[in-house]
Structure 1
Amino acid sequence: MKVIAEIQIAGTASARAGNWLWAWANSDLPDRLISDAKQVRSFGEMNSIDELAQSYVTDEDDQLESLGWELSAVMSRICGGLRIYRCPDSHGGLYLMFKSIGWAK
Protein backbone atom coordinates (compact mmCIF):
# COMPACT_ATOMS: atom_id res chain seq x y z
CA MET A 1 0.00 0.00 0.00
CA LYS A 2 1.05 3.58 -0.62
CA VAL A 3 0.50 6.66 1.47
CA ILE A 4 0.03 10.23 0.28
CA ALA A 5 0.97 13.05 2.62
CA GLU A 6 0.92 16.82 2.47
CA ILE A 7 3.97 18.26 4.23
CA GLN A 8 5.44 21.57 5.25
CA ILE A 9 9.06 22.15 6.21
CA ALA A 10 9.51 23.55 9.70
CA GLY A 11 13.26 24.08 9.64
CA THR A 12 16.70 22.58 10.05
CA ALA A 13 18.98 21.97 12.99
CA SER A 14 22.71 22.29 12.36
CA ALA A 15 25.22 20.85 14.81
CA ARG A 16 28.01 22.64 12.96
CA ALA A 17 26.37 26.04 13.38
CA GLY A 18 24.80 25.14 16.73
CA ASN A 19 21.44 26.56 15.76
CA TRP A 20 17.99 26.11 14.29
CA LEU A 21 17.11 27.80 10.99
CA TRP A 22 13.43 28.36 10.27
CA ALA A 23 12.32 27.16 6.83
CA TRP A 24 11.00 30.64 5.95
CA ALA A 25 14.57 31.96 6.28
CA ASN A 26 16.05 29.38 3.89
CA SER A 27 16.01 30.81 0.36
CA ASP A 28 16.71 27.36 -1.13
CA LEU A 29 13.28 26.02 -0.17
CA PRO A 30 10.20 26.34 -2.41
CA ASP A 31 7.43 28.67 -1.20
CA ARG A 32 4.79 25.97 -1.41
CA LEU A 33 6.61 23.98 1.32
CA ILE A 34 7.19 26.86 3.74
CA SER A 35 3.85 28.69 3.87
CA ASP A 36 3.09 27.35 7.35
CA ALA A 37 6.55 28.34 8.59
CA LYS A 38 5.79 31.86 7.34
CA GLN A 39 2.58 31.76 9.35
CA VAL A 40 4.64 30.89 12.46
CA ARG A 41 6.89 33.87 11.77
CA SER A 42 3.86 36.19 11.59
CA PHE A 43 2.52 34.73 14.84
CA GLY A 44 5.90 35.34 16.48
CA GLU A 45 6.01 38.92 15.24
CA MET A 46 2.46 39.68 16.39
CA ASN A 47 3.09 38.18 19.84
CA SER A 48 6.71 39.35 20.31
CA ILE A 49 8.09 35.80 20.48
CA ASP A 50 11.67 36.14 19.26
CA GLU A 51 12.23 32.38 18.82
CA LEU A 52 9.48 32.34 16.19
CA ALA A 53 10.26 35.66 14.51
CA GLN A 54 14.06 35.40 14.20
CA SER A 55 15.67 33.43 11.37
CA TYR A 56 18.02 31.56 13.70
CA VAL A 57 17.54 30.21 17.21
CA THR A 58 20.77 29.33 19.00
CA ASP A 59 21.25 26.15 21.00
CA GLU A 60 22.43 27.52 24.33
CA ASP A 61 21.74 24.30 26.29
CA ASP A 62 23.54 21.95 23.88
CA GLN A 63 20.23 20.22 23.17
CA LEU A 64 19.88 20.96 19.46
CA GLU A 65 17.67 17.98 18.65
CA SER A 66 15.29 18.90 21.49
CA LEU A 67 15.21 22.49 20.26
CA GLY A 68 14.21 21.26 16.78
CA TRP A 69 11.44 19.09 18.19
CA GLU A 70 10.15 21.91 20.40
CA LEU A 71 10.04 24.54 17.66
CA SER A 72 8.48 22.09 15.21
CA ALA A 73 5.84 21.20 17.81
CA VAL A 74 5.04 24.90 18.21
CA MET A 75 4.58 25.14 14.43
CA SER A 76 2.32 22.09 14.48
CA ARG A 77 0.19 23.64 17.21
CA ILE A 78 -0.10 27.02 15.47
CA CYS A 79 -0.80 25.53 12.02
CA GLY A 80 -2.90 22.48 12.89
CA GLY A 81 -0.31 19.88 11.91
CA LEU A 82 -0.79 16.17 12.51
CA ARG A 83 2.73 14.95 13.17
CA ILE A 84 6.38 16.01 13.05
CA TYR A 85 9.09 13.92 11.42
CA ARG A 86 12.83 14.48 11.74
CA CYS A 87 14.93 13.44 8.75
CA PRO A 88 18.14 12.58 10.61
CA ASP A 89 21.52 13.74 9.48
CA SER A 90 24.89 13.27 11.16
CA HIS A 91 25.10 17.06 11.54
CA GLY A 92 21.53 17.83 12.62
CA GLY A 93 18.26 17.23 10.85
CA LEU A 94 15.42 18.48 8.68
CA TYR A 95 12.07 18.74 10.47
CA LEU A 96 8.86 18.18 8.52
CA MET A 97 5.27 18.72 9.57
CA PHE A 98 2.56 16.47 8.17
CA LYS A 99 -0.60 18.40 7.27
CA SER A 100 -2.54 15.41 5.98
CA ILE A 101 -1.93 11.70 5.61
CA GLY A 102 -4.02 9.25 3.60
CA TRP A 103 -3.97 6.06 1.60
CA ALA A 104 -3.29 6.31 -2.13
CA LYS A 105 -6.08 5.06 -4.34
Structure 2
Amino acid sequence: MQIAGSTSAKASNWLWAWANSNLPGELLADAKLVRSFGQEHSIDELAQSYAIDLNNDLEVLGWKMTAVAVRICNGLGAYRSPRGEGGALYLIFKSVNWAS
Protein backbone atom coordinates (compact mmCIF):
# COMPACT_ATOMS: atom_id res chain seq x y z
CA MET A 1 0.00 0.00 0.00
CA GLN A 2 1.06 3.57 -0.74
CA ILE A 3 -0.54 6.91 0.07
CA ALA A 4 -1.50 9.02 -2.94
CA GLY A 5 -2.74 12.09 -1.11
CA SER A 6 -5.66 13.66 0.69
CA THR A 7 -8.48 16.12 0.26
CA SER A 8 -9.43 18.79 2.76
CA ALA A 9 -12.87 20.37 3.00
CA LYS A 10 -11.40 23.23 5.02
CA ALA A 11 -8.73 24.06 2.42
CA SER A 12 -10.89 22.89 -0.50
CA ASN A 13 -7.95 21.19 -2.16
CA TRP A 14 -5.99 18.02 -2.88
CA LEU A 15 -2.58 17.59 -1.20
CA TRP A 16 -0.10 15.07 -2.59
CA ALA A 17 1.24 12.66 0.02
CA TRP A 18 4.87 13.64 -0.69
CA ALA A 19 4.01 17.20 0.43
CA ASN A 20 2.53 16.11 3.77
CA SER A 21 5.25 15.98 6.44
CA ASN A 22 2.92 14.09 8.80
CA LEU A 23 2.95 10.90 6.71
CA PRO A 24 5.47 8.03 7.02
CA GLY A 25 8.18 8.21 4.36
CA GLU A 26 8.01 4.51 3.44
CA LEU A 27 4.45 5.01 2.14
CA LEU A 28 5.29 7.93 -0.17
CA ALA A 29 7.38 6.32 -2.93
CA ASP A 30 4.53 6.23 -5.44
CA ALA A 31 3.47 9.80 -4.73
CA LYS A 32 7.07 10.88 -5.33
CA LEU A 33 7.08 8.95 -8.59
CA VAL A 34 3.95 10.85 -9.68
CA ARG A 35 5.69 14.12 -8.83
CA SER A 36 8.71 13.16 -10.96
CA PHE A 37 6.41 12.21 -13.83
CA GLY A 38 4.68 15.58 -13.54
CA GLN A 39 7.98 17.45 -13.53
CA GLU A 40 9.29 15.47 -16.49
CA HIS A 41 6.14 16.07 -18.57
CA SER A 42 5.39 19.62 -17.31
CA ILE A 43 2.08 18.64 -15.71
CA ASP A 44 1.61 21.17 -12.91
CA GLU A 45 -1.21 19.27 -11.18
CA LEU A 46 1.21 16.38 -10.58
CA ALA A 47 4.34 18.39 -9.83
CA GLN A 48 2.87 20.96 -7.42
CA SER A 49 2.11 20.02 -3.83
CA TYR A 50 -1.62 20.68 -4.10
CA ALA A 51 -4.47 21.17 -6.56
CA ILE A 52 -7.44 23.45 -5.94
CA ASP A 53 -11.00 22.14 -6.21
CA LEU A 54 -12.32 24.34 -9.02
CA ASN A 55 -15.48 22.28 -9.61
CA ASN A 56 -16.56 22.24 -5.96
CA ASP A 57 -16.43 18.43 -5.77
CA LEU A 58 -13.57 17.25 -3.59
CA GLU A 59 -14.43 13.58 -3.95
CA VAL A 60 -14.17 13.74 -7.73
CA LEU A 61 -10.87 15.62 -7.48
CA GLY A 62 -9.49 13.05 -5.03
CA TRP A 63 -10.48 10.11 -7.20
CA LYS A 64 -9.09 11.74 -10.36
CA MET A 65 -5.71 12.42 -8.78
CA THR A 66 -5.60 8.95 -7.24
CA ALA A 67 -6.53 7.32 -10.56
CA VAL A 68 -3.63 9.11 -12.23
CA ALA A 69 -1.30 7.88 -9.49
CA VAL A 70 -2.55 4.30 -9.81
CA ARG A 71 -1.94 4.40 -13.57
CA ILE A 72 1.52 5.97 -13.40
CA CYS A 73 2.66 3.63 -10.61
CA ASN A 74 1.10 0.43 -11.98
CA GLY A 75 -1.13 0.08 -8.94
CA LEU A 76 -3.93 -2.45 -8.73
CA GLY A 77 -6.58 -0.17 -7.30
CA ALA A 78 -7.36 2.48 -4.72
CA TYR A 79 -9.25 3.08 -1.51
CA ARG A 80 -10.74 6.24 -0.04
CA SER A 81 -10.70 6.55 3.75
CA PRO A 82 -12.90 9.32 5.17
CA ARG A 83 -11.39 11.87 7.54
CA GLY A 84 -13.12 13.73 10.36
CA GLU A 85 -12.91 17.24 8.93
CA GLY A 86 -14.73 16.39 5.73
CA GLY A 87 -11.87 15.33 3.49
CA ALA A 88 -10.43 11.93 2.72
CA LEU A 89 -7.18 9.99 2.54
CA TYR A 90 -6.59 8.15 -0.75
CA LEU A 91 -4.52 4.96 -0.82
CA ILE A 92 -3.00 2.95 -3.67
CA PHE A 93 -3.04 -0.86 -3.57
CA LYS A 94 0.19 -2.37 -4.83
CA SER A 95 -0.65 -6.01 -4.16
CA VAL A 96 -3.71 -7.96 -3.14
CA ASN A 97 -3.71 -11.25 -1.21
CA TRP A 98 -6.41 -13.45 0.24
CA ALA A 99 -6.85 -13.18 3.99
CA SER A 100 -7.17 -16.44 5.86
What is the TM-score with the length of structure 2 in the denominator? 0.95
Q: Please report how far the alpha carbon of residue 28 of structure 1 lies from its aligned counterpart in structure 2 after TM superposition.
A: 1.1
Q: Please report how far the alpha carbon of residue 63 of structure 1 lies from its aligned counterpart in structure 2 after TM superposition.
A: 1.1
Moved over 6 A (4+): none
Q: Please report how far the alpha carbon of residue 52 of structure 1 lies from its aligned counterpart in structure 2 after TM superposition.
A: 0.2
Larger radius of gyration: 1
Q: Is residue 2:64 matched to residue 1:70?
A: yes
Q: Which residue of 19, 24, 27 corresponds with 1:25?
A: 19
For structure 2, which runs of at least 5 residues remain unmatched after alignment? none
Q: Is residue 2:55 matched to residue 1:61?
A: yes
CA distance in 2, matches of 1:99, 1:33: 11
What are the superposed Cα offsets for residues 5-52 of structure 1, whole Å, 9 maximum, x if unpaired? xx0000000011000000000011111100000000000000000000
RMSD value, Cα: 1.0
CA distance in 2, matches of 1:34, 1:63: 25
> Which structure carries more strand by proportion?
1
Residue 8 of structure 2 is matched in structure 1 by 14
**Percent of aligned positions that are identical:** 62
Q: Which residue of 81, 88, 95 corresponds with 2:90?
A: 95
The amino acid that maps onto 1:59 is D
For structure 1, which runs of at least 5 residues remain unmatched after alignment? 1-6
CA distance in 1, matches of 2:95, 2:43: 27
The amino acid that maps onto 2:41 is N
Aligned residue for 1:73, secondary structure, equals: helix
CA distance in 2, matches of 1:98, 1:17: 26
